[in-house]
Structure 1
Amino acid sequence: MRRCLLLAVLLIASFATPAYAAPAPGAPGIASAWTSGAKEGLGTSATTTSKLWYTLGQGIVNEIYYPQADTPDVQDLQYMVSDGTSFTDEEKVATTHQVSLADPDSLTYQQVNTAKNGRYRITKTYVTDPARATLLIRTRFQVLTGGALKLFTLYNPSLGNSGMGDTGATANGQLQASDGNVASALASSTGFTALSSGYSGTSSDGWQDLTQHRALTNQYTSADAPGNLVQTAQIPVGTDTTFTLALGFGTSRAEASSTATASLNSGWSAVSASYQTGWHTYLNSVAAPPSSTTGITQQYKTAVMTIKAHEDKTYRGAFVASLSIPWGDAQNADSCCAAGYHAVWARDLYQMATAEIAVGDSAAANRALDYLFNVQLRPDGSYPQNTRLDGTPVFGSLQMDEVSFPIILAWQLGRRDAATYAKIKPSAEFVSHRGPSTPQERWEEAGGFSPSTLAAEIAALVCAADLATANNDPGAASYYLQVADSWRAQVDNWTYTTTGSLASHGYYERIDDNGNPNDGHTLGIANGGGNWDERTVVDMGFLDLVRLGVKRADDPHITDSLKVVDAKIRVTTPAGDIWYRYNHDGYGETADGRPYTGVGIGRLWPVLTGERGEYALATGALGTGYLRTMAATANAGGQIPEQVWDRGTTIGTGTGSATPLAWAQAQFVRLAVSLSTGKNVETPSVVAKRYQG
């Protein structure tokens, strides 16, 4: 009798268990990748407690960063829809996308995705919990025509900055995953009716299952072998259903689960209100939008918030260059760690810090300078090309403008105290003894004598001299000014060619290898750009000589050089005039539009339009048109890209590089403030007084 009862219990248990119980087969799955660098929106709490950032693109979430702004953990999170018999739709592919700010004074983005077949609409609103590391997605699913539909969520974690190495399981009605000391938990306010964890590109992949069977037939309760994990769950919906999806993070699955649960229990209304209040408070703490932004005020506010969102919450003052991985969809993500732009460049940090000064957030700019001093500054006074947030070098080269900018920033912030001087003096010594030639200029591809680098070096030495005087170090002050004056007198001898073929008059080269601009040496262009006579390669870097106060705007060598760059690297788009970095540039998509993977064609950079606007202001002309051109390059989410297309029907719109580029947002903000102020707010007055009169 006992044997019969035991058999009956086993039979009942077998029917109650999914047909394909754990473990999921197929580990480790196919190779992983990141997602496009073209973000249409991003968000994070204005608090420092919630160490989570999200980005949006293609109508879905594509990348989440936790617990730092240099650690991506998610490839994508989206919905799938099926009628159960004839079709299964992948949200990012099967719908048309609209994106906007649901609240104009906070980074509360909303995506509206409407099925191309007209069957349904998905409306998603995003916030992060200010008290926790949770992303909340308020979702409304509407059936527009036809019969009932099924809704699924498809989650592709890449925890710990790696697409491989993730494991996952169903627990507490959630989809939980982990890789090392990073874990996630996906939960819904409605609960899930089916859940599964599997491996991308295999039979256990939920995407494969739904595409083939129109239902989640394989409900694997765990995927125990490390691999390219994919997690799928069904959400109970009717013809018009609103619910909240929560994706929580922690150092363990238990912590992530508790975090997601607590955010759901707090409720969407309370969490979203707290999130928005934080951003409202921040915007009220800085200067109001300047008069130059009339008609584009929303773009200005979005740019101000976007810059703030790029500051890390553990390493305060560390602003990453972009919460993106340029052309990430073509970048293998199997091993740690993606380089991307989620790193700190002293140059980009300087650009953001000066924008923060312009809007009245000097506290953020001071944090940036302190980060440079405390994390990146080397004993010899130099700075690395770029680093992870903890100071670990990423690319490993040296750029003399990046050694110079912290000195200028210290002067701009009025940091005249002895402790600050002790930090900047080694850098001033490094610049004065190792310059003026640089191993790399600001485009990070060539060494030699660069007009833009020289401008930063000269300005830095003048600023250092002023700080030395304030700290009773007259010998150093005299030496720095002597070097600065000498270099300024030789800038044209080193970089202004009078034998170049691009014009009948002289002009500034992009860079010269040995300080003889008339010798016609060969310049090798990175990224497949070829080899060219260095006299035939130009950029607009010489405008830094004006912006940093080293030369007057009406200097004939400046104005003659503008004629050349306008003829060689300017493109007039529907948005307005935009410039290439330099002619023959290879850093961009390939000729047929495929993602850049080492060789390509350089596209147009909106940040250069902003620099041209600052130059126009320096001449006494109006630069408002340049500001509006920059605004016109922003996408629907207000994000200004690193690069925009230079041809075709998409000319003037963002490529798959880095959107947003925080430097571009900072340039936009700083130009807007400068236009309303009537002068370039970044120009160090101590430099301009010495050299411009």
Structure 2
Amino acid sequence: MTPLVAVLLASALTVPGPPATYMPADKQGFGTAHQRSSPVWFTLGRTGLNEVFYPDLSTPATRDLRLVVDGRTADHAHTEPVGRLRYRQVFRGPGWRAEITYTTDPSRATVLADLRLDADRPADVRVVFDPNLSRDGDDDTAVDQPDALVARDSRSASALVATGGIEPVGATTGNVVQTGALRLDRGRTTLAMGFGATPGEALTTARTSLAEGFQRHAHRYDRGWDDYLRGLERPRSADRALYETSLMVLAATEDKRNPGAFVASPGFPWAFGFDRGIAPEFGSYALVWPRDQYHVASAMIAAGDTAAAHRALDFMLRVQQQPDGHLPQNTRVTGEPYWTNVQQDEQAAPMLLAWLLGRTDRATLDGLARAAEFMVSQPDAPFTQQERWENQSGYSPGTIAAEIAGLVCLADLLQRAGDPRAARYLGIADGWERRVEEWTVTRTGPFSDRPYYLRLTKDGRPDAGTAYNPGDNYPTAIDQRAAVDPSFLELVRLGVRRHDDPVVRNTVRVVDDQLKRGPFWHRYNGDGYGERADGGPWNIGHGRTYGRLWPIFAGERGEYELLAGDPAAARRRLADVASTANAGRMLPEQVWQGRGTTSATPLAWTHAQYVRLAWSIDAGAPVERPAVVACRYAQRC
């Protein structure tokens, strides 16, 4: 039990709250109603309910809700799925056992938690609720209400009510943390957490949802997801429960007020959840990256939800920046840029997606051409300010693959529309394709006496010993020839190089020697984006940290193995990705010793990779590989 919780339980006095932070990012569950009339999402951590997002998916409105029995905080929950993105958590303590089942009201901004307590004696049962309204809990204010826990800030409000009543018994100032005593009826009660623009609206929302009953909402919640899944086919290769969960997670990461805005993850890993220097406004990962958007959308196309992919493309084009038409590194779901670096593979993402969708309308083609002009007009193109790991500039084979493929896809769409701009983009793509090795393949590197692709070169001179620091707390600079990355396989997946190209095959061996551990891979040599050796959180300037293993690489390797004619290996990769799911079937960003770390979980990209690889195995080849690129460069149509 934290000292703050102990003070709140022991006294009804108001005490100062600590600065607002968020809970660890390894969520055991993530849910929302499929119905768009309910603008609220919830996450479950190892201690119970964590962040609830309202009114959109870039705006966390709570930190957590804790159950306290006889003065002891109920921690270390066991989570199990009990419906469509619904879950039950089980807590145990001396002489008692509690089950809490969660759902949302499909018609309102309310999260409901049905509590059942079995105890061998009369028990004092309380909840500690920490609202963090509008992304920042430090400006919240508790509102006096005799039978509810109510808080507000200048933009929104929360209200927690319960059947049988809830008696406020303590609150903090500053970062508001509220405590309430529950009155159980035969060991049961239902909590309803409602949100609104004002305290009155939040309270009315919560009470209305509570009056209609938990089971009614749970039934309508499940039915909404059943209706969604019923319209989609299922691949033969995938585990049914994990596949359906993955599809629902992908759909759930779309904001309901901003169609097509799919966030990367509903959590804030490591220092992004507690360090104001790293994240002056908390919200990182609950953002829209064009790269992650492409992976989600291509998985949705494979699953049969092309409407979602069209919305994703429309959102990408809607957030193009004036006056040059580039796509920002990421945005909030409202389209407001968050981090503003430029990543050239993200300029290519809408071109690739538009080709998969066959979009040739004038508005789409003009938007894509604006992004293309930005890409090709950079002085050192195809140099990128950041490659896909977002901490280095240079000539990256993975980024260049996306740029080439994007231009070829755009040219094909323009040709279909009779647009003469196609020839310009094809010419540039062909010129870059001829120089990929010149920019990114070393013949003097330490890992092989044969040529291999590097992670990137800072200067386009892969045989030069140019040094750079990999970042993320790595202690020294490294020779660029001593850093490789599985991302070079984008050249094969996108059709720029054949799977049996000698340099590709040698780099596969080098990458496996350098980065593969068990069934998974590190991102690159010297990666520090991960945890400390003792499992502590990543932060900049606070000690050495270590990037762990990424399940997405198993999916990418499986796509490569399909092209290499080894479907059995691809099926093993699919099973490897599935093995990283936690008890709530959430797939993580990173794993260590076979288990998810406290990295972003669920990561939409990982779930998308699982869905896409399953369909690719059924099809016998990567389902999102643009044939127009493969025919042009890999002689594989």
**TM-score when normalising by structure 2:** 0.94
Q: Which amino acid aligns with 2:633?
A: Y
1:517 to 442, 459, 462: 462
Mapped partners of 2:272, 2:325: distance in 1:
38
2:89 pairs with 1:111:
yes
Q: Deviation at 1:329?
A: 8.5
2:617 pairs with 1:675:
yes
Asked if the contact 1:162–1:333 (Cα under 8 Å) also holds between the matched residues in 2, the reply is no
Q: Which amino acid aligns with 1:314?
A: R
Mapped partners of 1:347, 1:511: distance in 2:
18
2:24 pairs with 1:36:
yes
Asked if the contact 1:344–1:386 (Cα under 8 Å) also holds between the matched residues in 2, the reply is yes
2:418 to 464, 467, 472: 472
Mapped partners of 2:109, 2:280: distance in 1:
22
Mapped partners of 2:610, 2:266: distance in 1:
18
Q: Which amino acid aligns with 1:406?
A: P
2:523 to 581, 584, 593: 581
2:123 pairs with 1:149:
yes
Q: Output one character per residue of 1:145-168: Cα deviation in whole Å (capped at 9) or x when no partner.
A: 4x2211111101111101201111
- The alignment yields a C-alpha RMSD, in angstroms, of 1.7
Mapped partners of 1:89, 1:196: distance in 2:
16
Mapped partners of 2:440, 2:409: distance in 1:
23
1:180 to 129, 154, 157: 154
Q: Which amino acid aligns with 1:666?
A: A
User: What secondary structure does 2:178 align onto?
Assistant: strand
5+ residue gaps, structure 2: 1-9
Q: How does 1:387-426 map to 2 (within 5 A)?
A: 387-426=331-370
1:246 to 171, 188, 192: 192
2:62 to 74, 90, 109: 74
Mapped partners of 1:329, 1:378: distance in 2:
29
2:583 to 619, 633, 636: 636
Mapped partners of 1:641, 1:45: distance in 2:
22
Q: How does 1:298-317 map to 2 (within 5 A)?
A: 298-317=241-260
Q: Deviation at 1:420?
A: 1.1
Q: Which amino acid aligns with 2:467?
A: T
Q: Deviation at 1:172?
A: 5.3
Q: Deviation at 1:336?
A: 6.2
Answer with 492-501 or 385-394: which moved more. 385-394
Q: Deviation at 1:545?
A: 0.4
2:139: which partner in 1? 165
Q: Output one character per residue of 1:84-140: Cα deviation in whole Å (capped at 9) or x when no partner.
A: xxxx21111xxx53211112xx1111111222x3x1111111111010000011111
Asked if the contact 2:135–2:283 (Cα under 8 Å) also holds between the matched residues in 1, the reply is no
Q: How does 1:334-483 map to 2 (within 5 A)?
A: 337-434=281-378, 435-474=381-420, 476-483=421-428
Asked if the contact 1:139–1:244 (Cα under 8 Å) also holds between the matched residues in 2, the reply is yes
1:237: which partner in 2? 184
User: What secondary structure does 2:158 align onto?
Assistant: strand
5+ residue gaps, structure 1: 1-18, 83-87, 200-225, 646-650
Q: Which amino acid aligns with 1:361?
A: D
Mapped partners of 1:40, 1:25: distance in 2:
32
1:213: which partner in 2? none
Q: Which amino acid aligns with 1:322?
A: S
User: What secondary structure does 2:137 align onto?
Assistant: coil
Asked if the contact 1:160–1:336 (Cα under 8 Å) also holds between the matched residues in 2, the reply is no
2:507: which partner in 1? 561
1:52: which partner in 2? 40
1:684 to 621, 626, 629: 626
Q: Which amino acid aligns with 2:267?
A: S
Mapped partners of 2:244, 2:297: distance in 1:
16
Asked if the contact 2:355–2:413 (Cα under 8 Å) also holds between the matched residues in 1, the reply is yes
Asked if the contact 2:365–2:414 (Cα under 8 Å) also holds between the matched residues in 1, the reply is yes
Mapped partners of 2:449, 2:91: distance in 1:
55
1:597: which partner in 2? 539
User: What secondary structure does 1:613 align onto?
Assistant: helix
Q: Deviation at 1:170?
A: 3.4
1:270 to 216, 222, 235: 216
Q: How does 1:531-542 map to 2 (within 5 A)?
A: 531-542=477-488
Asked if the contact 1:450–1:512 (Cα under 8 Å) also holds between the matched residues in 2, the reply is yes
2:106: which partner in 1? 130
Q: Which amino acid aligns with 1:198?
A: A
Mapped partners of 1:336, 1:542: distance in 2:
34
Mapped partners of 1:180, 1:613: distance in 2:
50
Q: Deviation at 1:175?
A: 1.0
Mapped partners of 1:328, 1:635: distance in 2:
23
User: What secondary structure does 1:566 align onto?
Assistant: helix
Q: Deviation at 1:31?
A: 2.1
2:77 pairs with 1:97:
yes
Question: How many aligned residue pairs are there?
Answer: 617
Q: Output one character per residue of 1:330-363: Cα deviation in whole Å (capped at 9) or x when no partner.
A: 6147996204200111000111010110100000
2:436 pairs with 1:491:
yes
Mapped partners of 1:332, 1:519: distance in 2:
38
